[in-house]
A and B are shown apart, each in its own frame.
Chain A
Amino acid sequence: MKARDLAELALRNLREALLRNALTTLGVAVGVASLVAMLSLGVGLQNLASQRLTRSGLFDAVFVTARSFGDRGGLSREGSSRDNSDSRQNPEPQELKLLDEDTRQAFARLPNVTEVYPQIRFVADARYGETKRQTMVLALPDSSRRSGAFDAMKGTFFSSSAAQEAILQMDFAKELNPQPESLIGKELTLRYMERSTSASDAELMNALTGSDNSGAISVLPRIKKFRIIGITDSDPSAGLGGFGGARVFLPLQVAEGLHVAQPGDFRTMLASESGKPSYMALTVRTKSPNDVPKVEDAIKKMGYSAFSLMDAARSLRLVFAVFDLFLGLFGSLALTVASLGIINTLVMAILERRREIGILKALGASDKDVKSLFFAEAAAMGFFGGILGVTFGWLIGQALTLGASLYLRSRDLPGVSVSHVPWWLGLSAVAFAVVVSLAAGLYPAARAAKLNPVEALRYE
């Protein structure tokens, strides 16, 4: 029999015992719904986690440090450990590759790189009125606006990357003023050390020491005023070029313009004969976390130490895979029960339709035709149950999201989508329902096909 005829006959048979078949289909739908709801929760939570992590800037960034003589410490540890094999083959110390402006431009030209910025953090004296505190200052790139770290901040983010503005960390703001909100709009004075490389300095040094000092720098104290425009509760420094601990934040462009002397300056000064400024570390941001490995490899090939947190992201994916597996197993239990319902319905149908099967066989239906007909009926119940189930599952997910959002809002937190039904989940759930239904139809279909037509026709 042709597929279309099979489908027509199967649907017709299903319509005839409407109540029973509808209940069986509903059973499949409930099973699929529980599976879809469970898995959509897994997918939703995974999305939520990876979205948050991506926005945190930890997973779409490659951290680059200058490779130095035998130095395997600090930030370069993880990146270098992968290169251990080459360094063993080549134990001679490599030439120090400086991270200067040219390197920064070269990184920016790599495919899928959105932003390259130096890590600028320095110790400064912060003054507000009579209060004076020594604190760590961190420069923030404009992209940190989207990191989610400032979602709940008081005040606003920097009006531009060149604005003479500062954002304070809440605890620090409290130290300056017990009513931190009142600080917004006020001025904060920073005293810091400027790294000066003017030609006159070099000449002065030459005159003093009587030798060539072309790479020399001088350090001068400077004072600058910044308008406080925001106070943040969270610590946005992690992943954005620093690893926590900063309490005053400045726009990156402004901070770069300050030419602050940094601890690494001495080391780069020793290596650089030109006296050109170089960076201690650069953060390279990619379009998406998926681009990280390629960019990381490209940077390593250029001879720099680079590392990323992709390994951590990979283990996170493993955790979610296991999580999804268990959610799926629990969800499948209901579908197993539903498949017993299908078996029951079809076995009952064989008993009721013995005569019909006999007639079909007398008219020339082959065993395969009869089997296919029962399979088609099982598949149809699975298909409709699957579609209904995906709809139910999606609705359950929406209800969970609504509930979670209401709960979070009651605690002054932004609402989140905890459940997500991607198209592949919907499609595979329907396909799975059909496959399970076909498996449930195996026994009844085989039994119907084996029926002896003479006996079946005798049956009243």
Chain B
Amino acid sequence: MQRLKWSKVQWRVYPWLSILFILALWQIVGARINPILISTPTAALSALIEQLQSGEMQVGFWQTAYTFLIGLLLGLVIGAPLGVLMGRYRIVESSLEIVVRVLYSVPAIALFPLFILAFGFGDEMKIVVVFLACVLPIAMNAQAGVKSVDNALIDVAKVFGGTERELFTKIILPGTVPFLAGGFKIAIGRAIVTTVAVEMITTGGGLGGMMSYYSNQLLTAEYVAPLIATVILSLLVYALGDSVERRFSAWRPRGTGSS
């Protein structure tokens, strides 16, 4: 067996030490004060196990994952082409950029009353809010990506007789991928925040609904368990985004990657 060298392993150890330290601190402080305030990791863990055994956690998790992923996916499917068109065609850019900028500065969550009127309290309303939160950063990054493509590369395609379609598929889109991945990662963060927030405000099921319910009951341990599940969901999708980005930027010189 190969001996593990501390000089190399240490960089994998420090993050876990840091997490352990925070958990220990939480345990020690939490055990000495009113359990309503911050509870303790052990109490949260046993609440989590209880919620898993009753099946409540699974229902909530999948409901949140569904809203979050569909909203995010819609944002990608609509935002990416929109941004690419804005980056490539001046008429699209000058028509839509002002709309995009204005909408970007409105917190999507603040618009949920309008969507309740239009869609009621169901999944559609939540998905629309999440979609709105993540479509704009994706579009804006795609736009910036297209504009960042080196003009000389566009000349290369033209001078060798490439069609507009070939210019798109072989030069512009591949050149935009790193920016798209960056926009996607920003969108993940916005989508998870918005999903949980809209669930909490409307007490409409999902992990956010659980958090809202248990915090009203002052059951802090039971409230912390879905919070942890939310973090895990977000980290999973984030890791997915990272691996897609790595797959498409294998050619990049080391140290200049955007991750």
Real binding pair: no
Identify the B interface with A (CB < 8 A): none
Identify the A interface with B (CB < 8 A): none
